[in-house]
Structure 1
Amino acid sequence: MFSKLAALTAVFAVLPMFALAQSGTGDATFFSPGLGACGVTNSNSDPIVAISSQIFNNGLCGRQMNVNFQGRSVTVTVVDSCPGCGSGDIDLSPSAFSQLADPSVGRIQGVQWNIV
């Protein structure tokens, strides 16, 4: 009985780590950051991301995300939610977006990302 309880406790202790392991593919846009949902104020030059409110939770605040698009990549920090984003879409700071594409395009499709 004790070993079953210990095993279940171990499984439930590890589950939150898997729940936070997120990845996706979607569109990327950029925004002018300020005070985000994580309680941190950021600027246009900070490498940050707002993620869809469908997957955002406070456990993701401060987590790093690798973002890839057509052979370019950038690492950003989750600081905000994006209520207007679809489930795989992300909203980057202008400096992070410019590492993936020219900001004049406004939106890029097929961006792959994963939270590390």
Structure 2
Amino acid sequence: MLVVLLVSLVLLNSCNAAVILWKRASLGSLPGTQYDGIGTYYDTGMGSCGKKDTNDELIVAINKAQMGNGPNPNTNPHCGRYVFVQGSDGSTKAKIEDTCPTCGSGSLDLSPAGN
């Protein structure tokens, strides 16, 4: 899923907001795979990527299954990748810095800055 540089992952939350995860930091018009899920918000802190985040940063935690943390989640290749979030109020990009252990497949958590 995230082996090739041009592969992306698209997540849909219950508010019809699309989230596109790019393997590279720059966003482009790459195709993606669509998933259905729920978008929620959480208070950030020490994320599974090993970085202490704050609520004013645009941070995303993706569900445990799709994050796929290995023995050392700090080295997860998803860490530092960007997602493009598009909803009825507009769009923004956020960085993957955490895992959402209670989120189902296709679901994600956004920092309050993404609210």
Q: TM over 0.5, yes or no? A: yes
Over 3 Å counting, the alpha-carbon distance change for 1:19 and 1:38 in structure 2 is farther
Which has more helix, going by share of residues? 1
Alignment partner for residue 70 of structure 1, among 84, 88, 109?
88
- In the alignment, structure 2 segments of 5+ residues that lack a partner are 13-36, 69-75
Residue 106 of structure 2 corresponds to residue 95 of structure 1? no
Structure with more contact order per residue of length (Cα contacts < 8 Å, sep ≥ 6): 1
- CA deviations on 1:19-65 (whole Å, 9 max, x unpaired) are 96211212211111001010010011001000011100411100000
Q: Could you tell me which amino acid in structure 2 is paired with residue 24 of structure 1?
A: L
Work out the CA distance in 2 between the residues paired with 1:19 and 1:55.
Answer: 18
Task: Tell me the TM-score normalized by structure 2.
Answer: 0.65
Over 3 Å counting, the alpha-carbon distance change for 1:34 and 1:20 in structure 2 is farther
Work out the CA distance in 1 between the residues paired with 2:6 and 2:49.
Answer: 18
Aligned to 1:9: none
Q: What stretches of structure 1 move > 4 A for 4+ residues in a row?
A: none
Work out the CA distance in 2 between the residues paired with 1:20 and 1:40.
Answer: 25
How big is the shift at 1:16? 1.2
Residue 27 of structure 2 corresponds to residue 16 of structure 1? no
SS in 2 for 1:55: helix
Verify the 8 A CA contact 1:20 1:60 in the aligned structure 2. no
How big is the shift at 1:18? 6.1
Work out the CA distance in 2 between the residues paired with 1:20 and 1:36.
Answer: 24
Work out the CA distance in 2 between the residues paired with 1:60 and 1:53.
Answer: 12
Structure of greater Rg = 1
Aligned to 2:20: none
Work out the CA distance in 2 between the residues paired with 1:33 and 1:71.
Answer: 22
Residue 50 of structure 2 corresponds to residue 32 of structure 1? no
SS in 2 for 1:59: coil
- In the alignment, structure 1 segments of 5+ residues that lack a partner are 1-14, 98-116
